[in-house]
Amino acid sequence: MTTEEEREFDDLLLLLKETRGFDFTGYKRNTLVRRIARRLESLKLRDYGEYRDLLELEPEEFTRLFDSLLINVTSFFRDAAAWQRLRETVIPALLDQKPADQPLRVWSAGCATGEEAYTVAMVLAEELGIDRFRDRVKIYGTDLDEKALQVARAGVYTDRALNDVPIDLRETYFEQVENGFTFRRDLRRQLIFGRNDLTHDAPISRVDLLLARNTLMYFNTEMQLNIVRRFHFALSDPGFLFLGKAEMLLNHSDKFEPVDLRMRLFRKIRPVSQGNRAPWSVTGTPADLASRLPTLASVALLSGPVAQIVIDVSGNLALANSKAEALFNLNPRDVGRPFQDLEVSYRPVELRSVIEQARQDLRPVELREVAWHRVGTSEAGVFDVSVVPLLASGNLVGIGIHFYDVTRYRKLRDELEQANRQLEQAYEELQSLNEELETTNEELQSTNEELETTNEELQSTNEELETMNEELQSTNDELQHINDALTARTIELDEVNRFVSSVVRSLGDAVVVLDDELRVVVWSPGAEDLWGVRADEAVGQTLAALDIGLPLDSLAPRLRAALADGSNPLEVMEGLVLDAVNRRGRPAPLTVQLSHLRTEDNAIHGLIMVMNVLNPEAAADR
């Protein structure tokens, strides 16, 4: 569009917002342009300015415009595979995580005429049972189109609309009424329909399942982001989102995670702030806590992942945890023995002098990378040993010895050193390759940006194609309705033609209807039999142009006289017998009765000519 056209288009959108409260600025511009162009074409208008003037003069055009902009394409169980996946995964997960005494809230956003709201009602009723469905479930259907909401509230659908509903569900949940089928009244109370503008109105809160199928694709990227935020706020935890096949949520991974991306099923991601709570807390009175601490400390020490030995001030073994017992072949009988008599005091490392140093300095002593070849093993273990003086109220009460197994880290360091030597040897080659990689990386970065842009364009194109598909489906529905109406009219017309043909056959042997210029309008089957001229050959021709055995010299002046002065046609033809010749060339004397063909205002615009053959034999020859 040119700058002038864009300005006029924006003025038109502003008029819709100010006069009718419909703000379409968040909708995709291409879709709006295409839909409004249809109205301009149907009204034979040239530009948006003329259409704006028309809206101000004819307010009823607003209704037709909104019907065109708000594309209401929906059906029961649309995309049946996606609904089956919802029944198999989402509904069971939702019911498992939701307490049985709590209500289930469902929101169908952009519900149009309500088919998807009633579909999810049937799915939940099948899963819960009728009684629990009535007690627990509340379904909210919202849309911008009040006309579509009226259809949804009525809940009455044609036989064609129910084609996609399985027979068993159709028989269970629908009742036949005079003009179609209606959803069961006892379950209809669980569904509430109302108007909601997703771009401005507050969302329905505490929703467990949110359906917004092929709704987001009508909005631009900025408005989609805003609506997705509202959806995230509306959903409870756990909460599930069910979108249409053209909607991906590629840019909203911080708010929703896919349950089944192909079927467009998503789960709400809990905000980070809610996940930082302490996993447990210590409860109870201070006295209870104090009484439990010695046992807790003992259990924690014994089950610790680091081998630990405790020596009392007398130099005797006071404690060894499970890891130390397994590592140094200690057993409960060794507790109380002098530490210097135990093998662990000098193997894998001489600890007696180190213990004495820690006792004198009252400071920890660290021994790094102590190698130990245990009996029965082929590889040496490597340990970091920490000798720590244990103090209580400033007094030495014992010595703690910790053995940290760093064998794995030593191997990793050796492997790292070996790798570093290899890297040093290949440094020059890598330096050259690095320069090439930097160049390649820049190219890849540029390509990645292009791919991201292309991906966004493809997503936008996909949404645009889906929008156009729904527009075509809407147009197809309109054409189907028109076709049904034309079929009905055709049937009525055939019945009328059969009735007229019956009347014409009953009037006489041959009936001809002429217009005011004596051209044939109707040529009865009796006339075909009498004169041998088919109806398609006679209709549209003047009576004089037809090669038939009718004496027009005496008949034509009377016909013109009956048309010219409006004389009584019966008087004009009174007593006249025409010497005609039938299609076989045999004499067929006949009488002619004339009647005026009149319009609704009683004006004469033709003649009805009824001919009866007087000679029965001539009639038989025909």
Residues 235-251 pLDDT 10s: 998 899 999 887 777 66
Distance from the Cα of residue 485 to its chain's centroid: 31
Range 417-434 average pLDDT: 80
pLDDT of the residue at 571: 62
With 60 as the cut, is the pLDDT of residue 442 above it? yes
Q: Which helix (H) or strand (E) holds 605?
A: strand 604-613
Residues 6+ apart with CB under 8 A from 161: 75, 76, 115, 180
User: How many Å is the Cα radius of gyration of the chain?
Assistant: 48
With 80 as the cut, is the pLDDT of residue 314 above it? yes
Which one is predicted more confidently, 429 or 171? 171
In tens, the pLDDT along 8-41 reads 888 888 888 888 777 888 888 888 888 888 888 8
Tokens found for residue 91: 């509904």
Helices 48-57 and 3-20 sit at what angle, rounded to 10 degrees? 20
Q: What is the mean pLDDT of the chain?
A: 83
pLDDT of the residue at 343: 84
With 90 as the cut, is the pLDDT of residue 211 above it? yes
E strand intervals along 119-173 = 137-143, 156-157
Which one is predicted more confidently, 50 or 299? 50
Domains in the chain: ranges and CATH: 3-69 (1.10.155.10), 80-271 (3.40.50.150), 293-405 (3.30.450.20), 406-445 (no CATH), 506-621 (3.30.450.20)
Which one is predicted more confidently, 326 or 378? 326
Query: For 272-281, 463-472, 498-507, which range has the lowest pLDDT when averaged over its residues?
Result: 272-281
pLDDT of the residue at 323: 84
Angstrom CA distances, 373 to 18, 321, 354, 407, 537, stand at 88, 21, 21, 12, 120
Range 494-520 average pLDDT: 83
Q: What percent of the chain has pLDDT over 70?
A: 90
Model confidence at 126, in pLDDT bands (50, 70, 90)? very high
Tokens found for residue 497: 């033609």
Model confidence at 118, in pLDDT bands (50, 70, 90)? very high
Q: Which of 145-159, 324-338, 451-465 is most confident? A: 145-159
With 50 as the cut, is the pLDDT of residue 280 above it? no
Per 3-state DSSP, the chain is made up of helix, strand and coil in percentages (nearest 5) of: 50, 20, 30
pLDDT of the residue at 396: 87
The identity of residue 280, as a single letter, is W
Q: CB of 241 within 8 A of CB of 266?
A: yes
pLDDT of the residue at 15: 85
Range 192-206 average pLDDT: 90
pLDDT of the residue at 276: 44
Q: Which helix (H) or strand (E) holds 577?
A: strand 577-581
With 90 as the cut, is the pLDDT of residue 216 above it? no
The identity of residue 489, as a single letter, is R
CA distance 113 to 94: 26
With 90 as the cut, is the pLDDT of residue 133 above it? yes
The model's pTM is 0.53
Establish whether the linkage from the previous residue to 238 is cis, with ω within 30° of 0. Answer: yes
DSSP letters of 298-348?
HHHHHT-SSEEEEEETTSBEEEE-HHHHHHHT--GGGTTSBGGGSGGGTSS
pLDDT of the residue at 250: 65
Range 94-107 average pLDDT: 90
pLDDT of the residue at 274: 43
Model confidence at 294, in pLDDT bands (50, 70, 90)? low
Q: Which helix (H) or strand (E) holds 356?
A: helix 352-361
